[in-house]
Amino acid sequence: MQSTTRALNAAAATPEITPQRTTPAAESPPSQQRKSPVSAAAAAAAVATAAGRKRVVADFEFGRTLGEGSYSTVVEAREKATGKVFAAKILDKRHIIKEKKIKYVNIERDVLHNLHHPFIVRLHYAFQDAHSLYFIIDIASNGELLSWIRRLGALSDECVRFYLAELVVAVEYMHMEHTLPPRHKAENILLGNDMHILVTGLLARPRCLARTRPTCARTRSSALQSTCRRKLLTDKAADRNSDLWAIGCIAFQLLTGRP
């Protein structure tokens, strides 16, 4: 039991990561420019103090549910000190231990911590309480790409080129980092505030693990299955070539509007 506790502690003990995306500060109106230097300095000091310490559950206000998995729930989370909005992936410790998922939780945490790319969901903080692990990650306010396909049908050629280019760039980056991408499906491609993609679903797919077949082998659409080579439907291994082929399956979805 002690080794299990140590493993769960390791999953939550990620270093602090400062947000990668920055935006130029807008010019303050004259009424704000006349603020007291003392109050401005105090506010800056408070932000610096918040940035330099570890986060705990009390630092966040948790809101609506964004999604649910087999042993986790994703909710909206607002950081009280800064007002920034994230997504919080909350993992049930008891279920993780019962289902022997500690190894995979650690892999997910390591992958999220080590990958730094504007098109990949990023881990900002990780912490825990008595019952749960908390992964504070980027929020995708515009939802899944799949929902847009269902809503709009086939996308324009220009739009398809745009999203496929971003997906290829993200996949190539993960290959360079010796990490195989997640199962390729539109549900794992999210859209951020700026409508650029955020790839998620990075659980347990480092190069040394190759049990997962491409998504097109699992889809309910017989038409989409027919676009996949027989080798991809039968082999257990997934590699660079199969990932690029799976991107072709997603291109089919985008061009035809068939989710």
Q: What is the mean pLDDT of residues 163-182?
A: 86
Q: What CATH fold (topology level) applies to the domain 1-11+55-139?
A: Phosphorylase Kinase; domain 1 (3.30.200)
Contact of 119 with 28, CB cutoff 8 Å: no
Residues 6 or more apart from 195 whose CB is under 8 A from it? 142
pLDDT at 75: 97
Confidence check: pLDDT of 122 > 70: yes
pLDDT at 44: 53
Confidence check: pLDDT of 142 > 90: yes
The Cα–Cα gap between 146 and 258 comes to 10
The Cα–Cα gap between 54 and 15 comes to 8
Confidence check: pLDDT of 34 > 60: no
Architecture of domain 145-256: Orthogonal Bundle (1.10)
Domain ranges of the chain: 1-11+55-139, 145-256
User: pTM above the 0.75 mark?
Assistant: no
Contact of 123 with 137, CB cutoff 8 Å: yes
Q: What is the mean pLDDT of residues 48-61?
A: 80
- Residue 174 burial by CB count (10 A; 0-12/13-18/19+): exposed, middle or buried? buried
The Cα–Cα gap between 17 and 143 comes to 24
Distance of CA 257 to the CA centre of its chain: 24
The Cα–Cα gap between 169 and 205 comes to 18
The Cα–Cα gap between 156 and 133 comes to 41
Tens digits of per-residue pLDDT, 204-217? 444 443 333 334 43
Query: Alpha-carbon torsion 149, 155, 184, 72, what sign?
Result: negative
- Could you list the residues known to form a binding site for ATP, using ranges: 89
The Cα–Cα gap between 165 and 198 comes to 13
pLDDT at 228: 47
- Return the higher-pLDDT residue of 72 and 210: 72
- Could you list the residues known to form a binding site, using ranges: 89
